[in-house]
Structure 1
Amino acid sequence: MDIGVLLPTGTAQWGPGDGPRELVAFGRRAERLGFSSVFVNDSLVSPRIEALTMLAALAPVTETVTLGTAALLPFLRRPVQTAQTLASLDLLSGGRLTVAVGAGFPGRFGRPLYDLSEVPWARRFARLDETVALWRALWSGADSFHGEILRFDGLPPATAPHRTGGPPVWLGGGTPAAQDRTGRLYDGWLPYPPDPADYASGLLNVRTAAAGAGRPAQDVTPALFVSVRVDEAGEDGARHGMEAYARAVYGMPLSELERIQAVVAGSAEQVHAQLTRFVEAGARHLVVRPGALGLASQRDQLERVAGLIPALTASAAAAAPLVPGAQRGTVA
């Protein structure tokens, strides 16, 4: 069981006097508290520290945590240069990089960003898959790549990443088509469905697609992106804080956000119970986004969630495995 945290790199999550250099200390603190990964998100919708720049700052000052993107938007960057950057990050971190990717969404989180990047909105999912295939080809020493959308001849020698074949690449997306593509092509699945039952059925689809492609089910890491707020006042107090977070970060009420994303709020016991439902549904790498405004409040939430790590790990050990043939008590 892995428990990770999303760094508050967006300035909408900061308070007066907060500064970007505090994010490095935040990542180091997460490692010391026992989190197994530190993730950053990626967008041009609101001011934020650029994702790969943030990971480059964390690579030399951390030792054990996975450094990840949740999720990187490859269409914002040139694909060959991005392969070089990711390989460099994998080297600088000693092989601790995980790259979750996405194609963006309709509305302000999608098409306007494609226009800014001068990349066609049409066939965006095929472009994403080909971009990842190009990265993997470059990381394996290829000097050409011929896809339906991306075609390159005479590619120069690329920087070799720390790990043979490059860092694992996960897909962020919960639609049936995304589940199928995850099983066939990706190393992990990072959705955020509000209902654990939807996570369980989606994971079954991912593993069915993997089996159809001749891949072992355990080759695909089952992860979950979830917003969390732990409050001593219980559910009412936690939801009040999460309401302010949803409106500041997304410009929408909590009731609307929790219809489309996994949101967990309450006392420590309530949060543990709700997260355990996702663990029982098969999630084995939780990427937790603290639902708090201001870096001091974010740090407080970091401490509170860290207190749940032992219990969540025990919940995963007790959960029935989803990989056929595994013995009860093992983590798939």
Structure 2
Amino acid sequence: MTSTFTDSTDTADNAAGGTGTVRMGVFVPTTKAQWSEHTGPGEAVSFGVRAERTGFDSLWVTDSLLTPRLEALTVLAALAAVTERVTLGTGALLPALRTPVQAAQTIASVDLLSRGRLVLGVGAGFPGRFGRPVYAMAGTPWPNRFQRLDETVALWRRLWTGEGPVSFHGEVLHFDDIVPATRAFRPGGPPVWLGGATPAALARAGRGYDGWLPYPPDPADYGAGLAAIRAAAGEAGRGDAPFTPALFVNTLITDAADGGRAALDAYAWANYGRPVEEMEKIQANAAGTPEAVVEQLGRYVGQGARHLVIRIAAPDIPAQLGQLDRLVALRPALNALLAGRT
């Protein structure tokens, strides 16, 4: 069974996309490393307002305990009050950093404040520096983390829609008689997208999630992963369920002779403490002239990506603001590429 995979972010408030167009989102600058004496935390909200006016379809925030940053759902609540049409998303939220019931209430609150514009990209973390130490800081056990993630999402959906007390008994989570919770704006709650591209993650995305937000460095791997998700969705009887194929990609438009290589390297060191040669083995990147970036992003569009979630690979807020107009200007060319393939 082949999935139609219609875009699950097309709501009454934000119906600018679908399978026939490429949508574009951008991360707002929420980490301390991007601020300066002239640009502080409040600029993250101003940046989001500017990005909406520029024409972006969605605004995104990251989530971690490792580096000083604004808390993800707090930022989205602030953006909900000052934006009107853009989707507001997490890329990716780590549910393990929060207690499941409290997180369900916070998420439902943001969904209500935004009138149904929230999307949750979620993940279980990674081995190494971004895995066990983060779980330890949150007081969450590292074993069974994928089962914990799936059960947390299932519990959230019950709480967002359930009438009366809710009981939940999984392999990891156990709750009895949770009092009626805050219900989300939309029936069923906000769409939940899964990150990750392992075979197990692809199967889980197809069986139980509303979208996919990976960052594979090879576009062919994106296409293969999406095919695996479609197969899993069909086997689970979800072949016609709304689903958004998205892409997390570090992007920079530049006329530099090296195609932005030095800028990407500086960005990798600032954010991960590693050179670009290491990071490009695990993350998608697109840099260079507008034509070069269209060609690079177009490879993913050709493999099925329909919502490009862009993290601007520039060091500070002024530099990122300078990229907004140039990035949105790429959309007609990307849609032309898509039209040529359909």
| TM-score, normalisation: structure 1 | 0.94
Following superposition, the deviation at residue 237 of structure 1 comes to 4.7
Distance 1:15 1:243, change over 3 A: farther
Following superposition, the deviation at residue 16 of structure 1 comes to 4.1
| TM-score, normalisation: structure 2 | 0.91
Q: Does 1:238 align with 2:295?
A: no
Q: Does 1:274 align with 2:296?
A: yes
Q: Which moved more, 1:77-86 or 1:217-226?
A: 217-226
Look up the match of 2:229. Answer: 206
Greater length-normalized contact order (CA 8 Å, ≥ 6 residues apart):
2
**Separation in structure 1 between the aligned mates of residue 194 and residue 256 of structure 2, nearest angstrom:** 36
C-alpha distance after superposition, 1:35-63 (max 9, x if no partner): 10001010011000110000010001000
Alignment equivalent of 1:54, drawn from 64, 75, 78: 75
Q: Does 1:249 align with 2:271?
A: yes
Look up the match of 1:126. Answer: 147
Alignment equivalent of 2:175, drawn from 152, 157, 179: 152
Following superposition, the deviation at residue 302 of structure 1 comes to 1.9
Whether the 8 Å CA contact 1:230–1:266 is kept in 2: the answer is yes
Look up the match of 1:139. Answer: 160
Look up the match of 1:325. Answer: none
Q: Does 1:308 align with 2:324?
A: no
**Separation in structure 2 between the aligned mates of residue 196 and residue 62 of structure 1, nearest angstrom:** 32
Aligned residues: 319
**Separation in structure 2 between the aligned mates of residue 9 and residue 317 of structure 1, nearest angstrom:** 35
Following superposition, the deviation at residue 263 of structure 1 comes to 0.8
Following superposition, the deviation at residue 232 of structure 1 comes to 2.1
Amino acid at match of 2:340: A
Following superposition, the deviation at residue 233 of structure 1 comes to 2.5
Following superposition, the deviation at residue 218 of structure 1 comes to 5.4
Specify every segment of 5 or more residues in structure 2 that has no aligned partner in the other structure, as ranges: 1-21
User: Aligned-pair RMSD on alpha carbons?
Assistant: 1.2
**Separation in structure 2 between the aligned mates of residue 317 and residue 52 of structure 1, nearest angstrom:** 36
Following superposition, the deviation at residue 209 of structure 1 comes to 0.3
Q: Does 1:177 align with 2:209?
A: no
Whether the 8 Å CA contact 2:251–2:311 is kept in 1: the answer is yes
**Separation in structure 2 between the aligned mates of residue 242 and residue 291 of structure 1, nearest angstrom:** 6
**Separation in structure 1 between the aligned mates of residue 228 and residue 80 of structure 2, nearest angstrom:** 34
Following superposition, the deviation at residue 11 of structure 1 comes to 1.4
Equivalent position SS for 1:154: strand
Following superposition, the deviation at residue 315 of structure 1 comes to 2.3
Look up the match of 2:24. Answer: 3
Following superposition, the deviation at residue 316 of structure 1 comes to 2.6
Whether the 8 Å CA contact 2:161–2:183 is kept in 1: the answer is yes
C-alpha distance after superposition, 1:211-238 (max 9, x if no partner): 000012552210000000100225x151
Alignment equivalent of 1:99, drawn from 98, 120, 126: 120
Whether the 8 Å CA contact 2:56–2:86 is kept in 1: the answer is yes
**Separation in structure 1 between the aligned mates of residue 236 and residue 283 of structure 2, nearest angstrom:** 29
Following superposition, the deviation at residue 313 of structure 1 comes to 2.5
**Separation in structure 1 between the aligned mates of residue 336 and residue 213 of structure 2, nearest angstrom:** 22
Alignment equivalent of 1:44, drawn from 51, 65, 68: 65
Equivalent position SS for 1:81: helix
Specify every segment of 5 or more residues in structure 1 that has no aligned partner in the other structure, as ranges: 320-327
Equivalent position SS for 1:44: coil
Look up the match of 2:245. Answer: 222
Whether the 8 Å CA contact 2:226–2:304 is kept in 1: the answer is yes
Equivalent position SS for 1:153: strand
**Separation in structure 2 between the aligned mates of residue 76 and residue 317 of structure 1, nearest angstrom:** 41
**Separation in structure 2 between the aligned mates of residue 276 and residue 159 of structure 1, nearest angstrom:** 41
**Separation in structure 2 between the aligned mates of residue 112 and residue 8 of structure 1, nearest angstrom:** 24
Whether the 8 Å CA contact 2:167–2:175 is kept in 1: the answer is yes
Whether the 8 Å CA contact 2:194–2:205 is kept in 1: the answer is yes
Look up the match of 1:264. Answer: 286
C-alpha distance after superposition, 1:75-110 (max 9, x if no partner): 000100100011111100010000010000011111
**Separation in structure 1 between the aligned mates of residue 83 and residue 77 of structure 2, nearest angstrom:** 11
Following superposition, the deviation at residue 119 of structure 1 comes to 1.1
**Separation in structure 1 between the aligned mates of residue 140 and residue 316 of structure 2, nearest angstrom:** 35
